[in-house]
Amino acid sequence: MSRSQRLFDLLQLLRCHKYPVTGDYLARELDVSVRTIYRDIATLQAQGAEIDGEAGLGYVLKPGFTLPPLMFTPDELEVLRLGAEWIARQADSEFSTSAQHAIAKIAAVLPPSHTWQPDDEIMRVGPLPAMTDLPLDMAQLRAAIRHQAKINLNYRDGQGSLSQRCVWPLLIGVFQQCYVLVAWCETREDFRHFRLDRIARFAPQAERYPHPRKILLRQWRQSAGIPAAKLGY
């Protein structure tokens, strides 16, 4: 591996972590000595990379530092294309359009050697089961999650029983045949999962829920036995 490639891989590795990681960990991941990591960190800092930390304590890349899209590997580009194609086929038309626009923006800044061609595809999304049309406004629901706003809803369970709930919306799970809202339910005083196609009425409130969404998501993952994602959480 060339030194330039190693420096790029080091930046990418730091980018995958929100909290400081030790030189020992970075050295193991890149299969080099800890001393090499220290030298590479110093080089990147001298070139303008905003890396905080020091030997023995760990290093973290400050938010906002970007890497050029032309540095995506072919496999990374294939993953992006495949994921966007899957999202584009879902029932949420706004997100479908956003997925298509995102791929177009990435493709526009790629060098000719990285341009996507139909004959170059290694994997492709096959036919998907039809998804039930949703009776609610997905954009409005996403806005409630971003603003950490409580919502009132009328929910019909699998047996057809209707109940009224006030919930704190946290996350939308996208499955092949349905969307699921992860929320804290004030009625049950616990985390609950609500299929969106079973929500008969949905009304965002002006009141925000009292605890930070990130903390609630962490508690939900722990209660559900779900490991934190390597990227983003």
Domain ranges of the chain: 3-61, 69-120, 138-224
pTM strictly above 0.75: no
Q: What is the pLDDT of residues 27-63, one digit of tens each?
A: 999 999 999 999 999 998 888 888 898 777 899 988 7
Rounded Cα distance between 123 and 79, Å, is 9
Q: Which residues are CB-neighbours of 7 under 8 A, at least 6 positions away? A: 40, 43, 44
- Which carries the bigger pLDDT value, residue 3 or residue 66? 3
Give the closest residue to 145 by CA, choosing from 227, 200, 97, 216.
216
Residue 231 pLDDT level (bands cut at 50, 70, 90) = very low
Q: Write b or e for each residue in 67-88: b if 16 or more Cβ atoms lie within 10 A of its Cβ, otherwise e.
A: eebeebeeeebbebbeebbebb
Rounded Cα distance between 94 and 218, Å, is 28
CATH number, domain 3-61, options 1.10.520.10, 1.10.10.10, 3.40.50.10490, 1.10.150.110: 1.10.10.10
Residue 153 pLDDT level (bands cut at 50, 70, 90) = very high
- Which carries the bigger pLDDT value, residue 123 or residue 9? 9
What is the length of the chain? 233
CB atoms within 10 A of CB 23: 22
pLDDT of 64 reads 65
Fold of 138-224: SH3 type barrels. (2.30.30)
Residue type, 124: R
